[in-house]
């Protein structure tokens, strides 16, 4: 067997990262997955088994933390590629904006410096639509030419994604020494969950199926299946033309929460009996948000229409995402199967 190339996947126990690991192993690469604690290595294997993959001889684990620069040198050693997925997520204990922005930006720079030192060919960074379409209002779909404008309307998470992605491009330009970079900017990530750690978009669907969301706020955004996000990372890593480019990952142009609810009710019968049937007017949610801290975080998004285009990934890389409907149903069925939905 020829010598296999090794890919460092950061934040290996996360939702997107686990599918990136799966895609790489299936395509004959060796994977070194970084974890904040090696205790999570069993969870990663469990998730891969849940996805139907049982062969782990090409998978190893390394302990590394976004707060600790020296941990990344060991992690990147012997790797030809890095897929940098790890980032502080919105549901952590972050209190201030800096709690998001500083670890995200430093984490990106730590990983890039370590990758450069290890002689890595190309880094694929998982950014987010949060770095593309906030702080602005557009009636046409957002594209890779768009950047989030950092004003007071932009949440710390989106800010952290914007600042850390810009820092990555600056690093490559100023001190990359020929190391390559591609960036993937996913919209709301759906798809079959493999454990109870999953994206924010899936929390919404869990609330619908559990009956915790009695009616839908009016929010339209793009969605994409996690399997297609992993496939886009793989294409961004392996295809020469992806170097120096960013790619929005989205299937179709946009779905409202009531659209999602309708897909669930239409296809899941009795299992969807608690799913909301109504959309709430914006003024009503803004009123409730005065008394309900949970709704406060939703209020700024109300009436927001964030459509995005993945034409670039489709044309340049031949990427073919599943439909949003398929992603919605795969998500719901996996939540039911894993008993995450009561």
Nearest to 87 by CA among 22, 151, 165: 165
Q: So what's the pLDDT on residue 99?
A: 82
Q: What region does 119 belong to: left with phi over 0, alpha with psi -120 to 50, or beta?
A: left
Could you report how far apart the first and last alpha carbons of the chain are, in Å? 47
Q: Which CATH class is domain 6-190+223-251?
A: alpha beta
User: 197 near 11, Cβ under 8 Å?
Assistant: no
Estimate the crossing angle of helix 41-50 against helix 15-26, to 10 degrees. 70
Tens of each residue's pLDDT in the chain, 342 residues: 468 999 999 999 999 999 999 999 999 999 999 999 999 999 999 999 999 999 999 999 999 998 889 999 999 999 999 999 997 655 556 678 888 888 889 999 999 999 999 999 999 999 999 999 999 988 899 999 999 999 888 888 889 999 999 999 999 999 999 999 999 999 999 999 999 877 778 988 999 999 998 889 888 889 999 999 999 999 999 999 999 999 999 998 789 999 999 999 999 999 999 999 999 888 887 888 788 776 776 677 777 788 899 999 999 999 999 999 999 999 999 999 999 987
What are the structural domain ranges in the chain? 6-190+223-251
311-315 long-range Cβ contacts below 8 angstroms, 24+ apart: 311/143, 312/143, 312/144, 312/245, 312/247, 312/248, 313/232, 313/235, 313/247, 313/248, 313/249
Instruction: Measure the CA–CA gap between 151 and 221, rounded to whole angstroms.
Output: 20
Backbone angles phi, psi at 83, to 5 degrees: -110, 110
Q: Which of 105, 161, 206, 235 is catalytic?
A: 161
How many other C-beta atoms can be found within 10 angstroms of the C-beta atom of residue 139?
Answer: 6
- pTM to 2 decimals? 0.94
161 is catalytic: yes
Q: So what's the pLDDT on residue 138?
A: 87
In this structure, the chain runs to a length of 342
Instruction: Measure the CA–CA gap between 61 and 8, rounded to whole angstroms.
Output: 9
Strands (E) located in 127-229: 180-186, 188-190, 220-225
**Partners of residue 251 on adjacent β-strands:** 223
């Amino acid at each position: 067997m020829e010598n296999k190339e090794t890919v460092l996947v950061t934040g290996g126990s996360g939702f997107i990262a686990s599918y990136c690991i799966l895609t790489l192993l299936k395509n004959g690469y060796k994977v070194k997955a970084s974890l904040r604690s090696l205790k999570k290595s069993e969870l990663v294997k469990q998730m891969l088994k849940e996805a139907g993959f049982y062969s782990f001889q090409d998978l190893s684990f390394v302990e590394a933390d976004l707060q600790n620069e020296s941990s990344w040198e060991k992690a990147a050693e012997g790797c030809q590629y890095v897929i940098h997925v790890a980032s502080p997520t919105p549901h952590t204990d972050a209190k201030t904006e800096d709690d998001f922005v500083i670890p995200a930006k430093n984490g990106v720079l730590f990983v890039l410096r370590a990758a450069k030192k290890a002689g890595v060919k190309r880094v694929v960074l998982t950014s987010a639509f949060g770095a593309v379409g906030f702080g602005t209002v557009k009636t046409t779909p957002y594209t890779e030419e768009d950047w989030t404008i950092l004003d007071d309307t932009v949440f710390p998470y989106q800010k952290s994604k914007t600042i850390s992605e810009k820092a990555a491009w600056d690093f490559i330009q100023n001190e990359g020494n020929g190391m390559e970079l591609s960036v993937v900017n996913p919209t709301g990530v759906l798809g079959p969950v493999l454990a109870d750690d999953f994206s924010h978009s899936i929390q919404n669907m869990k609330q619908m199926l559990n009956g915790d969301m009695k009616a839908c706020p009016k929010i339209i955004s793009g969605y994409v299946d996690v399997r297609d996000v992993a496939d886009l990372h793989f294409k961004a890593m392996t295809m020469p033309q992806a170097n120096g480019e960013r790619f929005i990952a989205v299937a179709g142009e946009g779905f409202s929460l009531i659209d999602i609810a309708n897909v669930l009710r239409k296809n899941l019968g009795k299992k969807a009996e608690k799913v909301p049937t109504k959309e709430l007017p914006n003024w009503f949610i803004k009123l409730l948000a005065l008394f309900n801290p949970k709704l406060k975080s939703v209020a700024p998004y109300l009436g927001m229409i964030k459509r995005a285009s993945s034409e670039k990934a489709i044309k340049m890389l031949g990427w073919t995402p599943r439909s949003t409907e398929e992603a919605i149903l795969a998500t719901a069925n996996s939540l039911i199967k894993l008993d995450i939905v009561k």
